[in-house]
Structure 1
Amino acid sequence: MSDALPRGARLGVDVGKARIGLAGSDPDGLVATPVETVARVLTGPTTPDGTPAVTADVARIAAEAADRSAAVVYVGLPRHLSGNEGAATTDARGFAGRLAHEIAPVPVFLVDERMTTVTAHAQLRAAGQRTAKHRPVIDQAAAVIILQHALDVERASGDRAGEHVDVS
Structure 2
Amino acid sequence: MSIQVFILSKLMEGNNYPYKVKKELSEFIPLDKLTRLTESKLYYHFESLTKHGYIEVVEVIKEEHRPDKQVFAITDKGRKEFPQKIYKLFEKGDSIRDFLPGLENIKYVDRSKIVEILERKIDGIHADWEKTKDFGKRVKGDHNNETIIHFVRDYFSTRTEHTLHWMEELVNLIKEGKI
Which of structures 1 and 2 has the larger relative contact order (alpha carbons within 8 angstroms, sep 6+)? 1
Band of TM-score, shorter chain: under 0.3
Q: Which is greater in Rg?
A: 2
TM-score (norm 2): 0.24
| Greater per-residue helix proportion | 2
